[in-house]
């Protein structure tokens, strides 16, 4: 029979080798019920083929511990942090005692809805979904799961928003309310375009005052590739001040206590400073947006901007190929000042009559 609807719930009913299997999927969409039916049949088939080798699927919390142990040894710190945070939330949501093979596509859909109701942005929800998809794909690859429950779950539509960057006035107001420790981070972020993880992970050996360069280690870069930027006079002064303040710390940028910044502490203090400056509740990534936007407005070509930003593809850099309204207005004023002669009334390509031609016409007349 397959699946059928009774009231608001979907039920399944099928026979395999003389044994009848019936049950309910609950009030789920029809597409989810069909996927669950396929999972049920696959589970029955696997048990029939390998009854002696049939293993009980691990609990979600147990697998989470195993996965994070593997991730610590094989992934970048930022990836581990994201996986740990997402797994903790998802495990608490579906229940830590639930087994891997009991997680359904409907659990993923409910997770999406709950996160959206919590006010999370589509981009944030999609990042969490991709993290969960990757984790469950690894469970399937390790033989702990026969079917990936989130394989068919779609990401949310995420319209590209206008990129926010700081004006010069906003920069002045922000720096005025920052503590000395936070002010150093803001300066370095504006002058290098480093991401948050790259800023808090900047080590003493990454700064070479003799060669005049500052580098991002590959293990802390988002794309896994190191990059090196030249140090200008303003950035040199900021880094020298930061190196003096860091003392014996392992990182260049430290908090007010002389300790390395944590992601959450730095993000929270920066957001509070933005609110105090009256420029809105902004995340630290606005410094990176500002760096790229100012490069563009200064006339730096996109290829150079791509290299300085550490983008693998030019498509990412094109997101920053925009100008501020003031810059556009200035460009239009320059255009009008350069080509200010009025256009002929007859046709825009008709050359204006010269005095010599006018004299010829009068003589001929």
Q: Are residues 197 and 110 in the same domain?
A: no
Is 302 contained in some domain? yes
Token pair for 2: 């397959």
Q: Are residues 153 and 279 in the same domain?
A: no
Q: Are residues 130 and 271 in the same domain?
A: no
Q: Distances in Å between the alpha carbon of 160 and those of 122, 123, 130, 331? A: 10, 10, 18, 25
Between 227 and 38, the more confident residue is 227
Domain boundary among 135, 159, 183: 159
Instruction: Say which CATH number the domain at 188 has.
Output: 1.10.443.10
140-167 pLDDT tens trace:
999 888 889 999 899 998 877 778 899 9
Domain boundary among 125, 159, 193: 159
Q: Are residues 173 and 305 in the same domain?
A: yes
Only one residue has tokens 């309310």, namely 177
Tell me the residue range of the domain where 174 lies.
168-318
Is 331 contained in some domain? no
d(CA 101, CA 105): 11
Quick one: pLDDT band at residue 321, thresholds 50, 70, 90? low
Percent of the chain with pLDDT over 90: 50
pLDDT score at 48 = 46
Residue (of 83, 69, 86, 74) closest to 224 by Cα position: 74
Quick one: pLDDT band at residue 327, thresholds 50, 70, 90? low
Is 330 contained in some domain? no
Is residue 308 predicted with pLDDT exceeding 80?
A: yes
132's CB contacts (< 8 A; 6+ apart) are 86, 87, 90, 108, 111, 150
Q: Are residues 42 and 61 in the same domain?
A: no
Is 248 contained in some domain? yes
Q: Are residues 177 and 244 in the same domain?
A: yes
Q: Are residues 25 and 61 in the same domain?
A: no
Q: Are residues 66 and 193 in the same domain?
A: no
Quick one: pLDDT band at residue 204, thresholds 50, 70, 90? very high
Q: Are residues 206 and 221 in the same domain?
A: yes
Q: Are residues 235 and 136 in the same domain?
A: no
Q: Distances in Å between the alpha carbon of 280 and those of 51, 136, 165, 180, 341? A: 61, 37, 12, 21, 44
Is residue 362 predicted with pLDDT exceeding 80?
A: no
213-259 pLDDT tens trace:
999 988 788 777 889 999 999 999 999 999 999 988 999 999 999 99
Domain boundary among 54, 74, 97: 54
Tell me the average pLDDT across 106-119: 93
Is 150 contained in some domain? yes
Instruction: Say which CATH number the domain at 70 has.
Output: 1.10.150.130
d(CA 92, CA 86): 10
Q: Are residues 45 and 63 in the same domain?
A: no
Is 277 contained in some domain? yes
Number of structural domains (the chain) is: 3
Contact 205, 214 (CB under 8 A): no
Q: Which residues of 239-253 are buried (b: 16+ CB within 10 A; e: fewer)?
A: beebeebbeebebbb
pLDDT score at 347 = 45
81-91 pLDDT tens trace:
899 999 999 99
Q: Are residues 61 and 50 in the same domain?
A: no
Range of lowest pLDDT (2-16, 174-188, 207-221, 271-285): 2-16
| pLDDT, averaged across the chain | 85
């Amino acid at each position: 029979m397959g699946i059928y609807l009774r009231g608001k719930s979907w039920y399944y009913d099928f026979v395999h080798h003389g044994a009848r299997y019936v049950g309910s999927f609950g009030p789920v969409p029809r597409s989810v019920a069909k996927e669950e039916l396929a999972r049920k049949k696959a589970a029955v088939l696997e048990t029939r083929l390998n009854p002696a080798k049939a293993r009980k699927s691990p609990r979600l919390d147990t697998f989470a511990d195993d996965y994070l142990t593997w991730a610590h040894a094989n992934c970048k710190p930022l990836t581990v942090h994201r996986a740990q945070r997402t797994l903790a939330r998802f495990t608490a949501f579906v229940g830590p005692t639930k087994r891997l093979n009991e997680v359904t596509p409907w659990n993923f859909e409910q997770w999406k809805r709950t996160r959206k109701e919590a006010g999370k942005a589509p981009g944030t929800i999609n990042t969490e979904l991709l993290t969960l998809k990757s984790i469950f794909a690894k469970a399937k690859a390790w033989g702990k799961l026969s079917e990936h429950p989130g394989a068919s779950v779609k990401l949310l539509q995420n319209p590209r928003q206008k990129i926010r960057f700081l004006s010069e006035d906003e920069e002045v107001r922000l720096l005025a309310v920052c503590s000395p420790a936070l002010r150093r981070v803001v300066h370095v972020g504006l002058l290098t375009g480093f991401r948050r993880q790259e800023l808090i992970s900047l080590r003493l050996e990454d700064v070479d005052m003799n060669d005049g360069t500052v580098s991002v280690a590959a293990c802390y870069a988002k794309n896994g590739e190191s990059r090196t930027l030249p140090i200008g006079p303003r950035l040199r002064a900021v880094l020298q001040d930061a190196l003096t303040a860091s003392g014996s710390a392992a990182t260049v940028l430290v908090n007010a206590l002389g300790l390395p910044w944590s992601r959450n502490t730095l993000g929270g203090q920066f957001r509070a400073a933005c609110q105090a400056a009256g420029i809105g509740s902004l995340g630290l990534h606005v410094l990176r947006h500002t760096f790229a936007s100012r490069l563009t407005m200064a006339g730096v070509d996109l290829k150079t901007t791509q290299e300085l930003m550490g983008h693998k593809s030019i498509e990412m850099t094109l997101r920053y190929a925009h100008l501020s309204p003031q810059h556009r207005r200035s460009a239009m004023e320059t255009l009008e000042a350069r080509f200010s002669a009025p256009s002929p009334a007859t046709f825009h390509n008709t050359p204006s009559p010269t005095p010599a031609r006018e004299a010829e016409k009068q003589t001929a007349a």
